[in-house]
Amino acid sequence: MNSRQITRSIGKSGVVASAVGLGTWAIGGWMWGGTDEAASIAAIQASIDAGVSLIDTAPAYGLGRSEEIVGKAIKGQRDRAVIASKCGLNWHSKKGNHFFDQDGTPVNRYLGADGIAYEVEQSLRRLGTDYIDLYITHWQDPTTPIAETMEALERLKSAGKIRAIGASNLNAAELQQYLAAGQLDAIQERYSMLDREIEQTLLPIARQHQVAALSYSSLALGLLSGAIDPAREFSGDDQRKDNPRFSQANRCKVAALKHALAPVAEIHQATMAQIVIAWTLAQPGITFALCGARNATQALDNARAGEILLSTAELGAIDAAVAVHLVAIDA
């Protein structure tokens, strides 16, 4: 691994990974305007070569497509990757609660023991591996007791099929139930300069119990990358097309923030996106920052952020700029 990459532990599991992780939701294509397999494989391999070991995927990203692409990319170098995948969004049965339809296929939230046992085998097959480093419940299922879910996950861990257990998209009460039921190693939640609610709800509990926190949408679906021009138009099934956050007015605010962050970026010879990711990793309780990339260039840009350590003064300057320029961004 690139020695300059910041690495951190996934809770108490003993698994260590790069603080910057590659998120592969967009690689699955769904809600991101399709996918380019060759470019996606190049993005994953470039990430690994740059020392980014943490690769986050899920069955729901393209109904297995993302996991299949990750599997192709890591073939022959499985030991260089720390794979996080998920369970609980099930299109194979009608159990649980209907959540959404993907390409006409109903997807349910279901975390029963039988569903987890089935899903892990499908993920292992698609990924081309015999173990998953971090296995995360993707969305919570109100029809299944958390204790039952944890028991099933602990069995997988004892069998060597997973190395660490995580939970995503949960509230504080659910987090406490997971902690009461077994060893939870990580939570994965939306967090960025624009999404900081978990600072008051989940992160204090996680820190108290040595649970790692993985932030997703660290760049707010790319809005905070500084690379989306105010005049850009989104098309097809791109989820940003009708998202009020991506209004032209809001993109102008981000452009102003980019200008304000320029002195810090210049010191580190970094882009706005890299400074935003480094800021994210410096926030109390945030252990890993997941960043999407659809080609090798984007992947290498994200990896560079995992080498940046911001000073206390720089973090203060960034916080002040955020308070001025992002104060009224629409949710």
Catalytic residues: 61
Q: Any idea which residue has 């944890």 for tokens?
A: 150
Distance, C-alpha 297 to centroid of its chain = 19
* 281, 12 contact by CB (below 8 A): no
SS3 182: coil
d(CA 92, CA 84): 21
Three-state SS across 265-307? HHHCCCCHHHHHHHHHHCCCCCCEEEEECCCHHHHHHHHHHCC
* 185, 11 contact by CB (below 8 A): yes
Residue 24 CB-density burial (10 A; 0-12 exposed, 13-18 middle, 19+ buried): buried
**243: number of Cβ within 10 Å:** 16
Q: Any idea which residue has 């108490």 for tokens?
A: 12
* 251, 229 contact by CB (below 8 A): yes
